[in-house]
Amino acid sequence: MSRSLVLGIETSCDETSAALVEGGGRILGHVILSQDAHAVYGGVVPELAARSHLQRLQEVVDEALEQAGRSVREVDAVAVTVGPGLIGALLVGVAWAKAVAFALDRPLIPVHHMEAHLFAPSLEDPEAEPPFVALLVSGGHTILLHVPKWGEYFLLGQTRDDAAGEAFDKVAKLLDLSYPGGPAIQALAEMGDPTRHRLPRPMLRRNQTPVDADFYDFSFSGLKTAVASLVADLDARGDLEEEREHVAAAFQSAAVDVLASKTLRAVKETGCWRVLVGGGVSANRRLKAEILQRLGDRGRLFASSPRLSMDNGAMVAQAALFRLDRGEIASLEVSADANLAFPNLISRVVPGRAERGEG
C-alpha cells in the first residue's frame, strides 16, 4: 500500500467523523462526533442527522488536522463514504469532499460504507488481511462474506429483513433502554440468565445444508416479534421489571447464537479458519467470545476496538488507500447512493435457484 496521506470523511448515519491516515494504516488524526440528539427518539432522525453533519463537519475536519499537525494542503487524496446510508447525511459528506478535492486539485476516492468496515481491523492489527470469512453486522446490514483477497468478495449470506443492529435497537426500546441499543442490551444482559426465557433462533435449523438458500442467510424480525410478545406477557403479569435483565440476556444469546452459527458454517464450508467481524455490533463482547470459543485453537479472530467498530473516518481512509493504489479515482460527478451495491461482490449461486445479489 502506498505512503499517501488520505483524508477520510464519514457521514453515512449519525456519526460525523474525519481522519488523516497514512499508507500502512498509520492514523495521524481522528475525530468521531456522535450525535446525542437522537436518543430521545429511540432512533436516528434523518433530517436531524443531516443538519448536524452540515453544522459540525468542518470543525471535525479541522480538529483531525490539528491532531495530525498537518494542513489540508498536505493531503494527497480525499475519501468519502458515498453509500449506503441515509441519503441526506451522505450528501453532506459527499458535497464537502467534492468541494475540497476540486479546490485542492486532489483525487476523490468514493468508499462503500460496509467495505470500509472490512478494513477497520487492519488499522490496529496488520495481520487482519485476507483470506478470511467476514461477518459484517451493523444497524443497517448483516452480511456474511468469504474474502480470499482485498477487492474480491463472495457473498454467502445476508439478512432478509431486519439487520442485527436494528434488532438490538428495537429490543432495547421494548425494554425501555437507551439508544443505541447494543451497549445497553449488553450491559443489562450481563446481569441476566439467558436460559430463563427460551427465544427462537430464526433461520437456524440442524437439517439445513449448503444447498439450502437459507443456510447462510439471517432473519431477525421473528426474534424481535418473539421478544415483543414476551415483554407484553410479562408486563401484563406485572413481572417485567424484575425480568428485564433475563429478557435482554435471552435475546442477546439468541442473536449471538445465530450470528456465530452461520459464521462457523462458512468457516467449515470454505475451509478458512480466519474470521473477521466488523460493524457496530462487532463490539459486542458476547459475540466475539462465542465465535472465539467455536473457532478453538485452530482459528483466528480479527476485530476492531469499540472505537473503530463504530462508523468512523479512519476506516474510510484505509479502504480508500486500497482503492487509490488501484487507480480508482472518481470524477466530481459522483454522488451519494443510499442503496449502493457492495463493490466487486460475487453472488452465491444456490443450485435450482436464481442468482442472488445484495439486498
Q: Is the dihedral of CA 11, 16, 21, 26 positive or negative?
A: negative
What's residue 359's pLDDT?
32
Q: How confident is the model at residue 355 (pLDDT cuts 50, 70, 90)?
A: very low
What's residue 97's pLDDT?
98
Spell out the CATH class of 127-303: alpha beta
The mean per-residue pLDDT over the stretch 213-229 comes to 96
Q: Which residue has the higher pLDDT, 359 or 127?
A: 127
The mean per-residue pLDDT over the stretch 195-214 comes to 95
Closest to 181 (Cα-Cα) out of 226, 224, 219? 224
> Cβ(158)–Cβ(262) under 8 Å?
no
Digit-coded pLDDT (tens) for 60-106? 999 999 999 999 999 999 999 999 999 999 999 999 999 999 999 99
Q: How confident is the model at residue 354 (pLDDT cuts 50, 70, 90)?
A: very low
> Cβ(208)–Cβ(214) under 8 Å?
yes
Q: Which residue has the higher pLDDT, 178 or 57?
A: 57
**Phi/psi at 108 (nearest 5 deg)?**
-110, 125
All 3 cell numbers of residue 224?
424481535
What's residue 43's pLDDT?
77
β-strands 132-137, 274-278 pairing:
parallel
HSE-up of 87 (CA within 13 Å, CB side)?
5
Q: How confident is the model at residue 42 (pLDDT cuts 50, 70, 90)?
A: confident
What's residue 351's pLDDT?
55
Instruction: Report helix angle 87-104 to 46-68, nearest 10.
Output: 40
User: What stretch(es) of the chain map to CATH 3.30.420.40?
Assistant: 5-119+309-346, 127-303
Closest to 137 (Cα-Cα) out of 13, 310, 267, 346? 310
Digit-coded pLDDT (tens) for 239-262? 999 999 999 999 999 999 999 999
Determine which helix (DSSP H) or strand (DSSP E) holds 142, and give its type and residue range.
Answer: strand 142-149
Domain 5-119+309-346: assigned CATH number: 3.30.420.40
Choose the weakest-confidence range: 142-151, 187-196, 340-349.
340-349
The mean per-residue pLDDT over the stretch 125-150 comes to 97
What's residue 93's pLDDT?
98
Digit-coded pLDDT (tens) for 152-193? 999 999 999 999 999 999 999 999 999 889 999 999 999 999
Choose the weakest-confidence range: 40-49, 126-135, 169-178, 332-341.
40-49
The mean predicted confidence, pLDDT, of the chain is 94
Digit-coded pLDDT (tens) for 265-313? 999 999 999 999 999 999 999 999 999 999 999 999 999 999 999 999 9
What's residue 334's pLDDT?
96
Three-state secondary-structure class, residue 42: coil
Q: Which residue has the higher pLDDT, 136 or 35?
A: 136
